[in-house]
Amino acid sequence: MNHPGKCKHLHGHSARVAITLEADTLNEQGMVCDFSDINQFAGKWIDNTLDHNMLLHKDDPILPILQEAGERVMVVDEHPTAEFLARMIFEYVSDGNFPVTKVSVWETDSATASYSKL
């Protein structure tokens, strides 16, 4: 909302996500985490929560119309930017007890935003 550029109009992205995990020691298999474990945990949540879903700020004026029409909408308290998505995914993965240090979200091949706890 209130964006001065073309992104003020409803639009979507086919984002890519990178999740960085770190640990001081490796497990018995020589890994921080098996890629399939983090993919199953985070990938499933991303598919179920974010994929083919309209993310809108709670004050967006189009929200009631989309909800009335039965469209799939996720209402959020902040603007649904790539930065917001990176933080949301970071917090979900962290809550799953994975040693996440950074999540990056690419909106395009040349535009990325990352979230990490310093």
Q: Is residue 6 one of the residues assigned to a domain? A: no
Q: pLDDT of the chain along its 118 residues, tens only?
A: 566 776 665 667 778 999 999 999 999 999 999 999 999 999 999 999 999 899 999 999 999 999 999 999 999 999 999 999 999 999 999 999 999 999 999 998 899 999 998 7
User: What whole-number distance in Å separates Cα of residue 79 and Cα of residue 74?
Assistant: 12
Residue 96, both tokens: 């799953």
Task: Answer whether residue 8 is part of any domain.
Answer: no
The model's pTM: 0.87
Does residue 2 fall inside a structural domain? no
Residue 80's domain comprises 14-116
Question: What is the count of structural domains for the chain?
Answer: 1
Is residue 72 in a domain?
yes
5 domain residue, yes or no? no
CATH, residue 51? 3.30.479.10
In a domain, 90, yes or no: yes
